[in-house]
């Protein structure tokens, strides 16, 4: 649900959006289409995906149904010839390009040892190289526009080592997009081209986040990002450049006070999953002391409770082995095997290699199994480190729900 009214400022403007066949890219395209903008849909999906909705052609139909004009182009942003061809077609159909939105991105939340080089190259070639390439090839046309913008869907350059320690390859690839903003904003000032970055404050309900967490209930709709992008792209590029904006701050700046309609589940509007790369305020010493006291001596009791809810049905649904490296006052190693038999748990390492190894303080471990802290939230907030299969690690939430029901 859009909470920012269209003003018509993008009427007749041509947007070149990478990865616009679905998700955030398509949402930005549809928002601009309401103004009567022209949109070049530069994406790979020409044929329907077996699991993901939308193609460049269905996106084009939606854009034109809202009053915009669309040019669907089959583009792999890693391929210079394909990008150049799409740029040339945009010139033929729309006589130029006013706005470039670098949205296409690849993600793999894996540590160094678990990141194969094929995946590393994919992320860097799409995220960093693709952004640089599209910006380079669109530059001559942007110079000719009197309302030229480049908007990258990338995070603020946060040098907190935590964000590198979790998934250094992905962080480098996304920060590469952000460094394009930092450099090009200064480089292109003389051409009156605004170059900015936009990043969500919370998780956004896209295919990627649903694949990671298995749910969108603690996410916001794509509309908050498309509303924020619209506000940014309507600004004067001569004076608005070099900004690393957060979606929530942008929509608030134009008068949106109640963000509840953006939440996928309004009941979770105050319990949304924070996005990567944004540091949260540290707990106060008083709060931390209370939390630590509450967690004392709970882990053996927790595992005794866990053992009571293990079942062949839970094993069949989960199919994963977990190892927990607990730090702090209750330091130790624990495991849960939800792959074999009726399941087993206890102290020490599992008999078979774990699918996911989770490291966290005993206090946070207790909160997680008490239902006060979700694994996904703990991971995004930096309270939990995961090595191995992150998607299987997130399946722990199913077991925790069973545990809560049987208390």
* Domain span at 165: 14-268
CA–CA gap between residue 305 and residue 193 (Å, rounded):
60
* Structural domain contains residue 147: yes
pLDDT, residue 136, reads 98
Do 229 and 356 fall within a single domain?
Answer: no
Q: What are phi and psi of 195, to 5 degrees?
A: -125, 115
pLDDT, residue 208, reads 64
Q: Spell out the alpha helix ranges (H) of 144-222.
A: 161-166, 168-187, 207-213
Average pLDDT score over residue span 302-310: 80
Do 77 and 168 fall within a single domain?
Answer: yes
CB 224 within 8 Å of CB 275: no
Do 364 and 222 fall within a single domain?
Answer: no
Average pLDDT score over residue span 320-342: 90
Do 321 and 362 fall within a single domain?
Answer: yes
pLDDT, residue 313, reads 85
* Structural domain contains residue 273: no
Task: Tell me whether residue 170 is one of the annotated catalytic residues.
Answer: yes
Do 86 and 177 fall within a single domain?
Answer: yes
Give the closest residue to 44 by CA, choosing from 63, 25, 31: 25
Do 344 and 253 fall within a single domain?
Answer: no
Q: Is the pLDDT of residue 3 over 80?
A: yes
Average pLDDT score over residue span 241-251: 98
Q: What are phi and psi of 103, to 5 degrees?
A: -110, -30
Q: Which of 170, 175, 230, 262 is catalytic?
A: 170
CA–CA gap between residue 179 and residue 184 (Å, rounded):
8
pLDDT, residue 364, reads 83
pLDDT in tens, 141-185: 999 999 999 999 999 999 998 889 889 999 999 999 999 999 999
Highest mean pLDDT among 41-55, 177-191, 286-300, 338-352: 177-191
pLDDT band at 305 (very low <50, low <70, confident <90, very high): confident
pLDDT band at 214 (very low <50, low <70, confident <90, very high): low
* Structural domain contains residue 276: no
pLDDT, residue 13, reads 98
CA–CA gap between residue 370 and residue 373 (Å, rounded):
8
Do 215 and 106 fall within a single domain?
Answer: yes
Do 175 and 309 fall within a single domain?
Answer: no
**DSSP string for residues in 41-67:** EEES--S--SSS---HHHHHHHHHHTT
CB 338 within 8 Å of CB 318: yes
Do 149 and 224 fall within a single domain?
Answer: yes
Higher per-residue pLDDT: 391 or 358: 358
- From 6-20, 343-357, 365-379, the region with the lowest mean pLDDT: 365-379
- Tell me the two tokens of residue 84: 């150049």
**Cα 269-275-279 angle, rounded to 5 deg:** 105
Give the closest residue to 299 by CA, choosing from 342, 338, 321, 331: 331
Domain with residue 327: its CATH number is: 3.30.1050.10
CB 152 within 8 Å of CB 131: yes
The residues facing 135 across adjacent strands are none
CA–CA gap between residue 289 and residue 283 (Å, rounded):
10
CA–CA gap between residue 238 and residue 198 (Å, rounded):
18
What does pTM read for this prediction? 0.77
CB 213 within 8 Å of CB 274: no
Count CA atoms closer than 13 A to 397's CA, side-chain side: 17
pLDDT, residue 401, reads 67
Count of structural domains, the chain: 2
**DSSP string for residues in 259-271:** -GGGBSSGGGTTS
pLDDT, residue 181, reads 98
Q: What contacts 337, CB < 8 A, 6 or more positions away?
A: 321, 322, 343, 344, 345, 350, 351, 352
Q: How many Cβ atoms are within 10 Å of 89's Cβ, its own excluded?
A: 15
Do 348 and 291 fall within a single domain?
Answer: yes
* Structural domain contains residue 247: yes
């Amino acid at each position: 649900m859009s909470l920012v009214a269209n003003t018509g400022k993008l009427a007749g403007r041509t947007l070149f959006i990478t990865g616009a066949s679905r998700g955030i890219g398509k949402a930005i395209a549809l928002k601009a289409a309401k103004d009567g903008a022209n949109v070049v849909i530069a994406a790979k999906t020409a044929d329907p995906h077996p699991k993901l909705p939308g193609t460049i052609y269905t996106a084009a139909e939606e854009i034109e149904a809202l009053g915009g004009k669309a040019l669907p182009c089959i583009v792999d942003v890693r391929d210079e010839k394909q990008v150049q061809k799409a740029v040339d077609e945009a010139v033929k159909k729309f006589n130029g390009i006013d706005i470039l939105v670098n949205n296409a991105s690849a993600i793999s939340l894996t540590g160094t040892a678990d990141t194969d080089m094929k995946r590393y190259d994919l992320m860097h070639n799409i995220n960093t190289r693709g952004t640089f390439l599209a910006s380079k090839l669109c530059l001559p046309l942007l110079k000719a526009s009197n309302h030229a913008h480049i908007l990258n869907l990338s995070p603020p350059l946060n040098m907190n080592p935590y964000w590198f320690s979790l998934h250094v390859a992905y962080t480098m690839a996304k920060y590469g997009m952000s460094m394009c903003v930092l450099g090009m904003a200064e480089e292109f000032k003389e051409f009156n081209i605004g170059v900015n970055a936009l990043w969500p404050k919370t998780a956004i309900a896209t295919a990627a986040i649903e694949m990671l967490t298995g749910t969108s209930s603690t996410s916001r709709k794509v509309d908050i990002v498309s509303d924020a992008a619209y506000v940014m792209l309507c600004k004067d590029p001569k004076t608005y450049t070099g900004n690393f904006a957060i979606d929530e701050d942008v929509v608030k700046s134009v008068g949106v006070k109640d963000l509840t309609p953006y939440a996928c589940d309004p009941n979770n509007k105050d319990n949304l999953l924070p996005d990567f790369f944004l540091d949260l305020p540290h707990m106060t010493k008083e709060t931390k002391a209370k939390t630590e006291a509450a967690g004392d001596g709970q882990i053996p009791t927790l595992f005794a409770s866990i053992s009571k809810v293990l079942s062949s049905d839970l094993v069949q649904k989960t199919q994963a082995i977990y190892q927990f490296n607990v730090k702090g006052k209750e330091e130790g190693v624990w495991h849960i095997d939800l792959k074999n038999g009726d399941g087993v748990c206890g102290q020490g390492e599992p008999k078979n290699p774990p699918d996911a190894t989770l490291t966290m303080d005993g206090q946070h471990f207790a909160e997680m199994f008490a239902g006060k802290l979700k694994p996904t939230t703990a991971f995004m907030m930096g309270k939990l480190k995961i090595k191995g299969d992150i998607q299987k690690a997130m399946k722990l939430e199913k077991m925790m729900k069973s545990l809560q029901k049987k208390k």
